[in-house]
Amino acid sequence: MATASCENPAETIGSFDAPECYKQIVILAIETSCDDTCSAVVEPDGRRALSNVVHTQTEHARYGGVVPEIASRAHLERLDGVVERSLSDAEVPLDDVSRVAVTTRPGLIGALLVGVAAAKGLAYARALPLVPVNHLEGHVAAAYLTDPDLEPPFIALIASGGHTALYSVDRDRKMRLLGETLDDAAGEALDKGARMLGLGFPGGPAISEAACDGDRDRHDFPVGLKGRDNLNFSFSGLKTSLLYKLKAMDGERLREELPHLAAGYEAAVVVALSRKLLRAVDLHDAPAVVVAGGVAANTLLRHTLEERCAKTGTDLVVPPPELCTDNAAMIGAAAPHSTAIAYPEYSSLSASSV
């Protein structure tokens, strides 16, 4: 383990024994990959967040989905204030920041670039190292904030608006893809289903709310690829099934059936996700499971997995809802295990949509 001196804190990269003068050193993390403008202050081992500020852009609701140009502009307008707030909430001055972490991929390119430019500016002005973080690794790292004793190996399910995939996370934290969606992401299927049902955006919470008093068995919805041995997902058949059901109903019938349709649709997504996740656990004899991404905030999914994992004795780590949806604390949590770029070598660092 390297030791840090007090003369030049900016050059220290990796974990080290902190002398007295380093008492407060922290990671400042920024996340702007989609429609949430986020900044957080995280302890250097990535196991505790001192602040976690999320500004969710409400501008997109009227369009029923995220508009990339609006997202970039809104990040640009709000990021400075969000960063300032994350430092003040953590009661940490900028002087105590030892490195800056930022999401560089995947996501909306214009939105990512706003965060990357801000992070580069902050790090450069203070001669700090910069840590590029993969958004998906960030979602998984939310589990380290949730259970500070968690160590790999485990199976991770990421289910968000843009991604639905199963990974095996090895002892060295490398993520190996086991299966993924062949069409829509789970969150995307919920968002599109909600739009068809005339519910709000984002669709996941809207469908859950509408499903509250619904009978999930009243309508038969297909669970994609359920009989297949692979660990992939498919949600296109589910969407088509809802579309045909709606076409066969008039307005009055739809109003009556809305809670049941929402409940059946939500349950089909939950069954698809939990079935493949538990199959992966079985195949890989995994001792623990992590569920991450916005859809992991879903109460039915959480309850289903709690019940099933309790039966099999599998440890289940699902972050609290505010760490499941996009946030910067998870980016800070991934930073200690991502490769830092020393000052000033990140001037040409860019972002990538994939």
Q: Interface residues for ligand KG4 in 323-352 (CB under 6 A)? A: 325-326
Distances (CA, A) of 322 to 26, 38, 91, 305: 21, 12, 21, 19
Contact call for residue 37 and Zn ion (CB under 5 A): no
Among 44, 110, 161, 332, binds ligand KG4 (CB under 6 A): 161
Q: Which two tokens stand for residue 352?
A: 């990538």
Cβ closest to ligand KG4, residue 44 vs residue 205: 205
CB of 329 closer than 8 Å to CB of 29: yes
Among 4, 26, 28, 34, binds ligand KG4 (CB under 6 A): 34
Distance CA 30, CA 39 (A): 5
User: Residue 244: how many CA atoms within 13 Å on its side-chain side?
Assistant: 10
Task: Provide the minimum distance between the beta carbon of 334 and ligand KG4 in the complex, in angstroms, as a whole number.
Answer: 14
Instruction: Read off the DSSP letter of residue 48.
Output: -
Task: Provide the minimum distance between the beta carbon of 139 and Zn ion in the complex, in angstroms, as a whole number.
Answer: 6
Among 90, 92, 111, 297, binds ligand KG4 (CB under 6 A): 297
Return the one option of Zn ion, ligand KG4, none that residue 208 interacts with (CB less than 5 to 8 A, by type).
ligand KG4
Cβ closest to ligand KG4, residue 24 vs residue 134: 134
Cβ closest to Zn ion, residue 86 vs residue 160: 160
Distance CA 178, CA 189 (A): 21
| Local structure of 308: helix, strand or coil | helix
Residue 216 CB contacts under 8 Å (≥ 6 apart), including other chains: 260, 263, 264, 266, 267
Distance CA 287, CA 204 (A): 29
Task: Provide the minimum distance between the beta carbon of 159 and ligand KG4 in the complex, in angstroms, as a whole number.
Answer: 8
Cβ closest to ligand KG4, residue 25 vs residue 169: 169
Q: Which stretch binds ligand KG4 (CB under 6 A): 6-14, 159-167, 174-182, 304-312?
A: 159-167
Q: Interface residues for Zn ion in 276-335 (CB under 5 A)? A: 326
Q: Interface residues for ligand KG4 in 173-212 (CB under 6 A)? A: 187, 190-191, 202-205, 208
Q: Which residue is nearest to ligand KG4 (CB)?
A: 204
Residue 266 has φ and ψ, to the nearest 5°, of -60, -45
Cβ closest to ligand KG4, residue 12 vs residue 208: 208
Q: Interface residues for ligand KG4 in 227-246 (CB under 6 A)? A: none
Question: CA 21, 26, 29 angle in degrees (round to 5)?
Answer: 160
Q: Interface residues for Zn ion in 134-173 (CB under 5 A)? A: 160
- Can you give the three-state secondary structure of 282-301, one letter per residue? HHHCCCEEEEECHHHHCHHH
Cβ closest to ligand KG4, residue 66 vs residue 122: 66
Cβ closest to ligand KG4, residue 44 vs residue 293: 293
> Is the dihedral angle over the CA atoms 278, 284, 285, 290 positive or is it negative?
negative
Binding site for ligand KG4 (CB under 6 A): 34, 160-162, 187, 190-191, 202-205, 208, 293-295, 297-298, 325-326
